[in-house]
Amino acid sequence: MLALLSVSDKRGLVPFAQGLVRLGFRLLSTGGTLEALKGAGVPVKKVSEHTQSPEILGGRVKTLHPRIHGGILGRLELEADREEMKAHGIEPISLVAVNLYPFRQTVASGAAEPEVIEQIDIGGPAMVRASAKNFRHVSVVVDPDDYPAVLAELEQQKAVSEDTRRRLMRKAFAHTAAYDASISAWLSAQAGEPFPGELSLAFQKSQDLRYGENPHQRGAFYREHAAPQEPTVAFAKVLQGKELSYNNILDLDAALGLLLEFPEAPAAVIIKHNTPCGVAVDAALVKAYRTARAVDEVSAFGGIVALNREVDAATAQAMAETFLEAVIAPSYSPEALQVLAAKKNLRLLEAGPALASPQARPRAQLDARSVSGGMLLMDRDSVEPPLSWKVVSKRAPTPEEERAMRFAWKVCKHVKSNAIVFASGDQLLAQGGGQTNRVDSVRIAMQRGGAALRGSAVASDAFFPFRDGLDEAARAGATCVVQPGGSVRDAELIAAADEHGMAMVLTGVRHFRH
């Protein structure tokens, strides 16, 4: 029996190869895999000796040969194939263990284009696809995690079962599809083409979820193949707590996205049902958290918390006072972990030091949403275009009002439309959103904020279509307003702001969030 091994990921390679030899396999290999096996004392034959053809073009052509692909693709149940293989001296290859050149890792390293191009594997995908196509006679292994199961079946029943060969086939085609999708995505990025004519996505399953948004829906979590430099939920380390749910992951991502709007100072964000219910900054993290929680303590119960500095014992103690679903932070002190260990179901995620950096910023990436029969793709609303705010009222905002408006504006783009946010310079005071008209959003925020809205700034994610929303905001006590502008009634809105003595700033940028 012949087995061909040629892998870039050499985890478990030597024990697997040794197991195959014990079971009577003769091994073929190339390049670094060949040297690794020889170095471990595993008997192995070079592919060029088997094919009686030299490796050429600097190693670009090694396995592209009839004695390799004929050995893999031969339909052994057909007498004609068997006779033809015999006539050409082609021996069947019954096991192929291949994983592909490290293309993604090379791209992530920042390598120049020629080096990246050389990491586009040709022979590897050809062997994987050929082996998967002929799964009835060939076991194809692309993942080192499958080595033990394959060896176990060979040891116990002298063959790999058809169920396993079919599973390995599915995995193999997914492997090459994801590999090609990564190449396509890189080429599109190099060409400055974010929306190519054909879209292929490459993600790896991180975990199966207990269920989706509701218990009757199935769910799974997929992530990119390589961790980005920026902090993400997908690559955060889970330190304790119950298994993350579909809704937990959505809320953690929303919390992290809003938190990254405030990198310069200790900040706390509390999210409930994908909506901010508490946001604050302070010189001390514990104060930022307590202030954020005080915005809406009822909604904070069962919420998701994001913090952008290491969690200390005081902050941990404050969080332990309220039932929370999950917390994401750069890191946790040993004392904080000891305090939070008592909350056994509380999910703790460690996002890494990048989250604590004053230079931390959201990733510039694409957002995808499925619709019936299709998909919508757009730039994520993470970086605002560099436009200048324009004062259009008679009164310009004071420095303190401008600070409050900028805080409100950052929060506003993370609230569902029609979004209305009241804020001071260092905290969210109240928000209203997800309504079918803007004036209702204002009234909901007024009901939540009450007297705390006196002297506040109000932000609107899109223009006020009528002055009624602005009139209500003024009645609530807001002294300044920031909004995109662009309505046919802008002049009427500006006049209303002047009538109320409010400062009004137009951003020229809309932040709808449907």
Q: What's the rounded Cα separation, in Å, for the pair 269 and 285?
A: 11
Residue 100's nearest CA partner among 176, 40, 153 is 176
Cβ-Cβ contacts under 8 Å for 390 (sequence gap 6 or more):
485, 505, 506, 507, 508
| Catalytic residue selected from 133, 171, 242, 343 | 133
Q: What's the rounded Cα separation, in Å, for the pair 468 and 476?
A: 12
Identify how many contiguous H helices and E strands the chain contains and give both numbers.
19, 21
Q: What's the rounded Cα separation, in Å, for the pair 58 and 404?
A: 63
Q: What's the rounded Cα separation, in Å, for the pair 359 and 200?
A: 32
Q: What share of the chain is helix, strand, coil (3-state, %, to 5)?
A: 40, 20, 40
| CB 67, CB 84: distance < 8 Å | no
Q: Would you put residue 468 in left (φ > 0), alpha (ψ -120 to 50) or beta?
A: alpha
Backbone φ, ψ for residue 116 (5° rounding): -65, -45
CB atoms within 10 A of CB 416: 19
Q: At what angle do helices 467-476 and 490-500 cross, to 10 degrees?
A: 20
| Element housing 480 (H / E) | strand 480-483
Q: Is 128 helix (H, G, I), strand (E, B) or coil?
A: helix
First to last CA, the chain: 59
133 is catalytic: yes
Q: How far is CA 206 from CA 219, 233, 247, 254, 266, in A?
A: 12, 12, 16, 19, 30
- Cα angle 469, 471, 472 (rounded to 5 degrees) comes to 65
Q: What's the rounded Cα separation, in Å, for the pair 185 and 201?
A: 8
Read out DSSP for 207-253?
Answer: EEES-SSSTTS-EEEEE-SS--SS--STTPEEEESSPPPHHHHHHHH
Q: Which two tokens stand for residue 3?
A: 């087995």
273 is catalytic: yes
R_g (Cα) of the chain, nearest Å:
30
Q: How far is CA 38 from CA 28, 44, 285, in A?
A: 11, 7, 56
CB atoms within 10 A of CB 18: 17
Residues that are catalytic: 133, 273
